[in-house]
Amino acid sequence: MLREKVEKTLNLQVEKEGFSSNLYLAMASWTEVNGYPGSATWLYQQAEEERLHMIKIFRYINDRGGCGTVPAFKQPQIEFESLHDIFQKVFEHELFISQSINDLVGVCWEEKDYTTVQFLQWYVQEQIEEESNAKTILDRLNLLGEDKSRLYLFDRDIESFRKPAGAAPAAV
Ligand code: OFO
């Protein structure tokens, strides 16, 4: 049975994961209509992964006797300056999510909920991979600058910058 504070904090993380999904969807749309189909595919995939992250927590809350709550999502940013702007924001957002997961683990330790600490280990590991993928892409973009033909090649090859995926989220 989840303690109230753990349940509340897990539901806050549900909101953050869902917001991440919507943010990446908005970014996917911007890249798709601005001529970056490779980046759009990458971002649509990220949006889908974040949705799975949200549902995995949601169902864990219910499995442990709590109640997963569908939040009201704030609209994400929908206009961006450039591809670089997008991936700078992806990286910053992943740092924010990593901090949020770490804070959540901290709450679970305080509440002596070691089962949820263990559940969250998957997220801790996942964030290492997601931060690293976003940083690799951002570093590459910083090297390329704004030259259009280089950005074309970057967009064509973006999938090759993704690190091999870790364990997939449990089936939902
Ligand atoms: Fe990368 O955010 Fe979900 O966990």
* CATH number for 137: 1.20.1260.10
Q: Closest ligand 1 atom, CA of 20?
A: 2
Q: Which atom of ligand 1 is nearest to the CA of 94?
A: 1
Domain assignment present for residue 172? The answer is no
CB 84 within 8 A of CB 27: no
pLDDT at 165: 57
pLDDT attached to residue 171: 44
Tens of pLDDT, residue by residue over 122-136, are 999 999 999 999 999
- Which amino acid is residue 3, in one-letter code? R
Q: Is residue 70 part of a domain?
A: yes
Report d(CA 106, CA 87) in Å as an integer.
29
* Within a domain: 163: no
pLDDT above 70 as % of the chain: 94
Query: Is it the case that residue 172 has pLDDT exceeding 50?
Result: no
Determine, yes or no, domain membership for 165: no
Give the number of the atom of ligand 1 that is nearest the alpha carbon of residue 53: 3
61-102 confidence digits (pLDDT tens): 999 999 999 999 999 999 999 999 999 999 999 999 999 999
Residue 19 lies in a domain: yes
- The average pLDDT across 13-31 equals 98
Rounded CA separation 144/154 (Å): 8
Residue in 20, 87, 104 to alter for ligand 1 test, most ligand atoms within 8 A of Cβ:
20
One-letter amino acid of 78: I
Domain count, the chain: 1
Is 169 within a domain? no
> Does the residue 171 lie in any domain?
no
- Return d(Cα 149, Cα 171) in angstroms, integer: 41
Domain assignment of residue 138, yes or no = yes
The boundaries of the domain holding residue 35 are 4-158
Choice from 96, 127, 128, 133 to test ligand 1 binding pocket (greatest atom count within 8 A of CB): 127
Q: Does residue 168 register a pLDDT over 70?
A: no
Distance 149 CA to ligand 1 centre (A): 32
Question: Is the Cβ–Cβ distance between 51 and 25 less than 8 Å?
Answer: no
